[in-house]
Chains A and B, each alone.
Chain A
C-alpha cells in the first residue's frame, strides 16, 4: 500500500531535528562552509540555502512582514505518484516503488542530469566536484526503513509531531480533517495532494505556500504526460516513415537504373551508326 507523509508547518518549531536525523540515518556529511560564505540564507537562521548532496531535507525560515514572526517550510523530495525524474531517466536509475518512495540506484546512473532538469520541485542534487564517481542525491523517503516497517527518520524524530507518516489514503483524510477542524487557520489547500498528478508528501501551511518558498502554479496533470504526447506517436510514425522512405528510395533507384540503361542503349546505337 502506498505510504505518504504530512508536513504540518503550523506545528514546526524550526528545531531541525529532522535534518539531523536525516543526516544520521543516511550517513550524510556536515557542512563545510567557507569562512566568507553567507552562513544564513534568507531572513532567519536558515542554513544551508538549498538542498545539496549532504542535505536531503531542509527547514526554510521566513519572517512574516506584518508581525516579524517566523514561519517554517520544509523541502524534501515529494515522491510524486508519476515522477518526472523517473520518467526521463534513460537508464531507469530512478524508479517509483509501490510503497511510495522514488529511489535512486547509482549503479545504473550515467550522470546525464535530466532528472535534475525535469524535477518541478528542484529536488535532485548532483556532485559537481566529483571527477569520476558523481552521483545524484535526493531524499529516499527512508525506503530502507519503510521496507522494515519503520517510519522515515525525520517523522520518527520530530518532537512536535509536525511530520505524520502513514497510508496515503489515511493521510489525505487526516490532512483534510486538520484543515476542517480549524477554519481560517490553515491555508485551505493540501500541497501535494493533486500537484503534478499527486505526490506522497503533503504540506500544510498557515501562510500562502508561495511565501514560504514552495513552487506554486504547478499543473495538476502528471508531467510525464507532456512528453508522452509526442513519444506515443513515435512507434507508428517510425513504421510509416520507414515504409515511405523505403518505397521512395526503391523507386528512385529503379528510375536511375532505367535512365542508365537508356543512356547505354543510346550510346550503343550511336556507335553502330
Chain B
C-alpha cells in the first residue's frame, strides 16, 4: 500500500521535543554537576529522580513480570494478549530507568564495578543484580518477538527454546528486585516519618509493584487498542480488575494494620502536610480505586478499570515520593523541592519511552486482537503497516 510521505504527528513532535529538552539538561549535568540542574542536597541526596524516576519507572516496568507470571508461569492463557505488550513496555521502562540512573548517580561510567564487588549487605547491590539479570531476560524474550518475521531459523530456534526459562528466571528476579526497593528504605528509620517507615516496606513495595503492573497493563491495553483500532478485551480488563482488588486489599490490610500495630495511626489525625500527603495517598490512591473496581458495573466497562488503574498509579507515585521526599525529616534548614531540570529530564525520558513504544507498536506484531472494523479492513491495521514498511525496506 503506497503511503504519502507523512508529516510527523503532534504527538511525535511533543514527545521528541520533550526528549530533546531532557538531553540538553543531561548535557548541562555532565559539565556542571548535579547541582546545576537539580535541587538535591546532602539532606535529600535522592529526591525526585529516585522517588519518581527510578522507583516509579521500575514499578511501571512491573507490568512485564506480572503478566508473564499470570500467562506463562501460572498458565492462565486467557491473559496471553497482555504478555507481548507488557514485555516490550517493561523492557522500555527498564531501559529508561537505566537512563535516569545514568544521570542520577555521580559516576555512571563506574557502574560496572558493582558486579566486581561483594557489597551483599547493600539493598542497592541486590537491586543492581536483579535489575540487570531481569533486563537480560527481557531482551531475550524481546528477541523472540523481534525475530518472528525474520528468516533466521537457527537463532530463532535458540530464542524460542530459551523463552520460557528466561520468563521463569525473570519473574523470580523481579520479585526480589521490586521488594528490595522497599528494603532500601528500611535502614533510615529516623529520617523517614514513622507513618511510612515500616519493616514491611519490602512487602508493600512488592504489592504496589503488582498493582502498578496490572494498572499499566490495563491502561496500555485500552490506549493501544484505541490507537491501533483493535477490539479491546473488556472481559480481560474486568478479570485483571478482580486481581487488582485482591492485591490492593492485601496492601490496605497490611498498611493500616501496620499503622495500628506501630501506633502511628493517631499521628495521622494531626493537621500537617505529612498527614495530608498520607491521606491523599491512601484514600485517593488506594481506597477510592479499590471501591471503584469493587463495583461490577464499573469494573465490567472499558473505562472503569482504566480509571481505577490511573488512580492506583497515582497512589503508587505518591507512596514512593512520600517515602523518599515528603516523609523525609532531616536538619531544619534543609529543604527540597524538585527543580525544573529534575522534572524535565524525567518527563522527557518518559515521553521518549512512550514514543518509542508507539513506534514499536506499528512495526512489530505486539497486539494481535481483532481489528475494530472487521476483517475487511485488516490491511489498514497498524501491524499491517509495519509489514508493508519492512517489505519496502527489504525491497
The interface centre, meaning the residue of B38, B42, B105 with most chain A CB atoms within 10 A of its CB, is: B42
Q: Does B17 contact A (CB under 8 A)?
A: no
Report how far A133 CA is from B32 CA in the complex, Å: 11
Establish whether residues A252 and B75, one from each chain, have CB atoms under 8 Å apart when the complex forms: yes
Q: Which of A132, A219, A241 contacts B107 (CB 8 A)?
A: A132
Establish whether residues B45 and A132, one from each chain, have CB atoms under 8 Å apart when the complex forms: no
Establish whether residues B110 and A245, one from each chain, have CB atoms under 8 Å apart when the complex forms: no
Interface string of B39-80 (1 = CB under 8 A from A): 011110110000000000000000000000100111101000
Establish whether residues B106 and A90, one from each chain, have CB atoms under 8 Å apart when the complex forms: no
* Residues on the A chain within 8 Å of B45, using CB: 113, 116-117, 126
Establish whether residues A215 and B188, one from each chain, have CB atoms under 8 Å apart when the complex forms: no
B contacts with A: majority SS: helix
Q: Which of B123, B168, B175, B333 contacts A231 (CB 8 A)?
A: B123
* Residues on the B chain within 8 Å of A255, using CB: 75
Given contacts A111-B110, A129-B32, A131-B33, contact A227 B123 (CB under 8 A): yes
Report how far A255 CA is from B191 CA in the complex, Å: 51
Q: Does A87 contact B (CB under 8 A)?
A: yes
Establish whether residues A129 and B128, one from each chain, have CB atoms under 8 Å apart when the complex forms: no
Report how far A252 CA is from B73 CA in the complex, Å: 7
Establish whether residues A84 and B187, one from each chain, have CB atoms under 8 Å apart when the complex forms: yes
Q: Does B250 contact A (CB under 8 A)?
A: no
Establish whether residues A113 and B46, one from each chain, have CB atoms under 8 Å apart when the complex forms: yes
Establish whether residues B31 and A131, one from each chain, have CB atoms under 8 Å apart when the complex forms: yes
Give B168-194 interface residues, CB cut-off 8 Å to A: 168-169, 171-172, 175-176, 179-180, 183-184, 186-191
* Residues on the B chain within 8 Å of A113, using CB: 45-46, 105-106
Q: Does B36 contact A (CB under 8 A)?
A: yes
The interface centre, meaning the residue of A112, A125, A218 with most chain B CB atoms within 10 A of its CB, is: A112
CB distance from B111 to the nearest CB of A (A): 5
Q: Does A179 contact B (CB under 8 A)?
A: no
Establish whether residues A218 and B110, one from each chain, have CB atoms under 8 Å apart when the complex forms: no
- Contact sample, A vs B, 27 pairs, CB 8 Å cutoff: A50-B42, A50-B331, A89-B122, A91-B117, A91-B119, A92-B118, A92-B119, A109-B107, A112-B106, A114-B124, A117-B191, A124-B42, A125-B42, A128-B33, A129-B35, A130-B106, A131-B29, A227-B122, A227-B183, A231-B120, A231-B126, A238-B172, A242-B172, A245-B171, A248-B73, A249-B167, A256-B77
Residues of B within 8 A of A (CB): 29-36, 38, 40-43, 45-46, 69, 72-75, 77, 105-108, 110-111, 113-114, 117-126, 128, 164, 167-169, 171-172, 175-176, 179-180, 183-184, 186-191, 199, 202, 330-331, 333
- Nearest 5 A-B pairs (CB), nearest first? A111-B106, A252-B75, A128-B35, A113-B45, A134-B106
